[in-house]
Structure 1
Amino acid sequence: MVNGTLQLYQKKQILFAACLLLGNILVGYSLGWALPVLGKLLDKDQTPLDDVITDYEASWVASAQLIGVLIGLIISGYLSNVIGRKPSAIVMALTSLFGFTMLAVASNVSWMYAGRAVNGCGSTGIQLLNAIYIGEFASPNLRGIFMSLTGVFHTLGVLLVYAAGPYVTLKVVSYIYIGIALIHISACGYIVPESPVFYVTKGKEDDAKRIFRELGRSKDIDTELKAMMETYKEDYADRKWSQLFTIKSNRMALLITVTLFILNQAGGIMSVLFFSTMLFKNVASSIDPDVATILLGVTQFAGSIVTPVFINRCGRRILLLVSSICCSLFLAMLGAYFYLESIKHPSILCIRWMPLVALISFLFFFCIGINVIPMVLISEMFRPNVRSLGSAMTLICGCSVGLLSTSTFNFLAVTFGNYTPFWIFAAVNLFGFFFTLLVVPETKGKSLMEIEIMMRSGKHEPSL
């Protein structure tokens, strides 16, 4: 009977998680869209637009999504506390769908700008809400696996657009996204329940109990749910944003998650991906550019698969530590190669393989930890009444630093040499290793209430 009940709650929660994780495919597809598509917009024989766009316009088509990112974070964080996690997820998915519909019917570059911005708003909202949503409904022994699967489905979306983009028309690329989005919206609307934590924040204990039963978590009603209702009763009467800073557990959560997301973005992932096309051309000219693009997607997907397998065995911290130190090592190797090339060292002829190996290795180890674990922690560490706000603030800080990192890459490379930004990125990841080692606690197997108590008491000294 116990085993049967266990299997039943697992099946229920896996179904709900799968419906939500379709949204992470959309996020990855959206982020990877520019790499295989911009070439079509620059080709007069393939572009669906009235005129071929310029290189300057192409850069804006690629980056217009960032305009919608900050808006999406603010809107989704606010809506999730007002109308609930489920309605907010559907609203942001519809926004994302509308953005790609604009791309499908676009006849000029202005529509492209608008479509990318609207889609950026929606897809970023999906990413944030899934982190909150999944973290709140999943049982402690499943939460880490489900959250790490967000990275798997994200990279699956990237791989899908990398694989399809070069070989189909721009309209078909958009139609693929629209089809997945319609399935995702329908699944969320008809299958997924509201988060029980949202009902707790509204003081609706009976509704929260109903959702706990629907999730197969009846045994947690008299433990975790009861503790939530008692512990947060006073907090919900005062929902000021200042609680992010005045309550110790929230301060610690903000310090840890903001730092990890800044390190995530400042560690060079976006710059390395942008630089990878040139790297393949210079170092691996025998590889077809379209095949090289798919190789990047396969590498990221392979790395992301490792996390769900080991996250409940090794814990969050071990994966972060391994990911950070390995990323630092391979970025340092990239920097060393470009330094030797800049001084025309004779050994460069013997190590032409190094940039390609270092790039692929960096992407693999980035995806097993740094890419996913901060999102896992963001779903676990904040108190429910400020979880949306804290998550939005964390992602805004990370995205802002990512934009700064990407925009300064060329300046650093031209002014101080190609090797300089890679060594800076290596140093950032090395700092991330020590920050994780000394500050980040282990949350493996703990309920949200146990994590909150650990953060509040300050007794969260990390140990290997």
Structure 2
Amino acid sequence: MDPIGASCLSLFKPAKKNCNDAVEEKHKNTKDDGLREMIASCKSLSQYEGKTFKSLLPQILASLLAASFHIGNGISLAYSAVLISQLEQPDSPFKPTKTQNSWMASVLIVIIPPASIFSGIIMDNLGRLNCIKIAGLPGVAGWSLIALANDVPTIIAGRLLVGISSAWGTSPGIVYITEIANSNLRMSLMAIAPAYVSLGMVLTYMLGWYLHWRTLAWICNVFIIVPCLVCIIIHESPSWLILKGKYDQAKKSLNWIHKYQKKPGEQETYADLQYKILQEEQEKKKIELAKQKSQKGIRFIMQEFLKPTGWKPLLILTGLFFFQHFSGIYITMFYSISFIQEAGSSIDGYLASIMIGIVRLIMSVASIYILKGFRRRSLIFISCSLMASCMFVAGLWTRWIQEGSTEMRWVPVAALLFYVVASTLGLLPIPNMMIAELFPLEIRGIGYSVSYSLCCVLMFVALQSYYNMNELFNGSSNLQWFFGIVCLGGAVYSYIFLPETFKLKLEDITEYFKTRFVYIGHNRKKLTKDEADEKMLKENNVNNNENLHETV
């Protein structure tokens, strides 16, 4: 139940007359003020919000369609594995060098930070769904360029356009889901995006097993065009429409999203109440925006980053991203087929990649429940430890296979499958989730952009250095052991420096960074300010109820 204990409408019901005059006299002076305060702060529509599948169906349908561009994103991530593998075959029309291979794989990543900034400008000015539709233009151009390419530079140019398309088409989908979804359903609906990415990877490995890379590139256009077309049948975000003063369209959008919700009254619908709440929220956002404009711009931002609450989160996240990318998570994704073939496994590289993609898809769904129930710091520590064990086993068996001292050639693939499972428990999803949690409100937006850009830079460096690292460590077995050592380093690093943010208020995280940098020895059992206030409020309520009972 809400703290109010009832809906807005229930406040206007006739009061019961079974209390004596003493109780009425005690409360008559505060009754009117209390009613005004409760009516003014009444934001919850939970009493009228249906939790049935039918009542939530429009939100689910809109989320599934708006996030469908992520399937193409998964395809673009996995395509480099198929492309590089087929170009290395004897019948390939041209032979790329290892440096060119690394550029074909990593150029998709290096363009994402600037493209994401531009996508924010598009979606704020033209709308979330319109940004997705615009993303189809560079996407179709990029895949067509790859399909027609007769040299490596043309392929790299096509991959660059596909990267721009991925940034423009995926970010608006997440923002759209955040703005239309019910708060209890939001996390589950946002998890559609990584599930779609995993699905796209599986489709790429399956199709690449049978189809030529040119044919696959033409087919990839389907997964760009279809998401753009389906955005026509769903309504734009009501929050954005109200922000732009398009009130009639906002009402139509809310009526469509909540058309199966029950009516709070004869005249007002659930959508009408949502509309009033969104209007008030947008007014608050305008006030906050005006305050932000009154700040001192770049000088103010620099001052905030020089504070402990600014540089500590940035430094911790940078280290975490280093261990994430150099542990081999994305290297095994972008170079999966070549990576498995070089390990000497008896399992076909394409089949093994399909198995890895399916496992990643299953775990991306399972991680929704895992992340909701376990502490993030503990999950990263366990994830890194398990990943290290899997890589040490894979490296050992790869060495034995290359020496011809074992017939169990399936072990490296099995170890890699368990490695993928372990990565999805913590090190793969959590670092990106923590970006928005660690920075204070004053620089949360710019902090997210800077950290995300550093994440992409480190991913680019890791993907670029794959072949160099393979030569430096003299083969895949030693490289796998290197990944295992990095995973162990990530476990130690997270245990020492990473703060626990699970079920912690954002303001409490900011307070933590004011005084601490090393997490070891931190007493988390100490009540936070909000927890202490909540405890005191509960005690006061108990005392008030006891006094009221005695008076009655």
TM-score over 0.5 (shorter chain)? yes
Partner of 2:341: 281
**Contact 2:73–2:200 (CA under 8 A) maintained in structure 1:** yes
Q: Secondary structure at the match of 2:347?
A: coil
Partner of 2:363: 303
Aligned-pair CA distance for 1:397: 1.4
Partner of 1:440: 501
> Relative to 1, partners in 2 of residues 1:62 and 1:410: Cα closer, same or farther, differing over 3 Å?
closer
1:367 aligns with 2:420: no
1:68 aligns with 2:111: yes
1:89 aligns with 2:149: no
1:422 aligns with one of 475, 480, 484: 484
Higher helix residue share: 1
Aligned-pair CA distance for 1:390: 5.3
Q: Secondary structure at the match of 2:330?
A: helix
Q: Secondary structure at the match of 1:189?
A: coil
The TM-score with structure 1 as length reference comes to: 0.78
User: Percent sequence identity over matched residues?
Assistant: 20
> Relative to 1, partners in 2 of residues 1:182 and 1:17: Cα closer, same or farther, differing over 3 Å?
same
Q: Which amino acid aligns with 1:170?
A: W
**Contact 2:67–2:193 (CA under 8 A) maintained in structure 1:** yes
**Contact 1:42–1:54 (CA under 8 A) maintained in structure 2:** no
**Contact 1:258–1:394 (CA under 8 A) maintained in structure 2:** yes
> Relative to 1, partners in 2 of residues 1:351 and 1:179: Cα closer, same or farther, differing over 3 Å?
closer
Structure 1 stretch displaced more, 418-427 or 255-264: 255-264
Aligned-pair CA distance for 1:389: 5.4
Aligned-pair CA distance for 1:100: 1.0
Deviations 1:92-111 (A, max 9, x none): 23322221121223233332
Structure 1 stretch displaced more, 292-301 or 27-36: 292-301
Partner of 1:138: 181
**Contact 2:102–2:463 (CA under 8 A) maintained in structure 1:** no
Of structures 1 and 2, the one scoring higher in RCO (CA 8 A, sep 6+) is 1
Structure 1 stretch displaced more, 370-379 or 142-151: 370-379
Stretches of structure 1 that go unaligned for 5 or more consecutive residues are 444-450
Rounded Cα–Cα distance in structure 2 between residues aligned with 1:52 and 1:351: 33
**Contact 1:57–1:109 (CA under 8 A) maintained in structure 2:** yes
Partner of 2:283: 229
**Contact 1:267–1:425 (CA under 8 A) maintained in structure 2:** yes
Partner of 1:15: 61
Rounded Cα–Cα distance in structure 2 between residues aligned with 1:167 and 1:343: 31
2:391 aligns with one of 334, 339, 347: 334
> Relative to 1, partners in 2 of residues 1:237 and 1:121: Cα closer, same or farther, differing over 3 Å?
same
**Contact 1:413–1:420 (CA under 8 A) maintained in structure 2:** no
**Contact 1:28–1:157 (CA under 8 A) maintained in structure 2:** yes
**Contact 2:83–2:213 (CA under 8 A) maintained in structure 1:** yes
Q: Secondary structure at the match of 1:327?
A: helix
Partner of 1:186: 229
Count of aligned positions: 445
> Relative to 1, partners in 2 of residues 1:252 and 1:150: Cα closer, same or farther, differing over 3 Å?
farther
> Relative to 1, partners in 2 of residues 1:6 and 1:212: Cα closer, same or farther, differing over 3 Å?
farther
Paired residues for 1:398-417 under 5 Å: 398-408=455-465, 415=472, 417=478
**Contact 1:303–1:364 (CA under 8 A) maintained in structure 2:** yes
Rounded Cα–Cα distance in structure 1 between residues aligned with 2:377 and 2:199: 21
The TM-score with structure 2 as length reference comes to: 0.67
**Contact 1:13–1:215 (CA under 8 A) maintained in structure 2:** yes
Structure 1 stretch displaced more, 127-136 or 331-340: 331-340
2:195 aligns with one of 148, 152, 155: 152
**Contact 1:413–1:421 (CA under 8 A) maintained in structure 2:** no
Rounded Cα–Cα distance in structure 2 between residues aligned with 1:161 and 1:355: 22
Aligned-pair CA distance for 1:364: 1.6
Partner of 1:127: 170
Q: Which amino acid aligns with 1:362?
A: Y
Partner of 1:395: 452
1:115 aligns with one of 149, 153, 158: 158
Q: Secondary structure at the match of 2:191?
A: helix
Paired residues for 1:311-350 under 5 Å: 311-312=371-372, 314=373, 318=375, 321-322=378-379, 324-335=381-392, 338=395
Rounded Cα–Cα distance in structure 2 between residues aligned with 1:160 and 1:63: 20
Rounded Cα–Cα distance in structure 2 between residues aligned with 1:22 and 1:71: 22
Deviations 1:49-90 (A, max 9, x none): 6x4545544343333323432332232133233333232222
Q: Which amino acid aligns with 1:440?
A: T
Q: Which amino acid aligns with 2:283?
A: M
Structure 1 stretch displaced more, 119-128 or 9-18: 119-128
Rounded Cα–Cα distance in structure 2 between residues aligned with 1:342 and 1:311: 36
1:34 aligns with 2:80: yes
1:102 aligns with 2:145: yes
> Relative to 1, partners in 2 of residues 1:252 and 1:127: Cα closer, same or farther, differing over 3 Å?
farther
> Relative to 1, partners in 2 of residues 1:434 and 1:214: Cα closer, same or farther, differing over 3 Å?
farther
Q: Which amino acid aligns with 2:180?
A: F
Aligned-pair CA distance for 1:338: 3.9
1:290 aligns with one of 350, 356, 361: 350
Paired residues for 1:261-276 under 5 Å: 264-273=324-333, 276=336
Structure 1 stretch displaced more, 3-12 or 392-401: 3-12
Aligned-pair CA distance for 1:136: 2.8
Rounded Cα–Cα distance in structure 2 between residues aligned with 1:385 and 1:18: 33
Aligned-pair CA distance for 1:433: 5.8
Q: Which amino acid aligns with 1:85?
A: R
Partner of 1:447: none
> Relative to 1, partners in 2 of residues 1:293 and 1:158: Cα closer, same or farther, differing over 3 Å?
same
Structure 1 stretch displaced more, 177-186 or 257-266: 257-266
Q: Secondary structure at the match of 2:185?
A: helix
**Contact 2:205–2:354 (CA under 8 A) maintained in structure 1:** yes
Structure 1 stretch displaced more, 134-143 or 333-342: 333-342
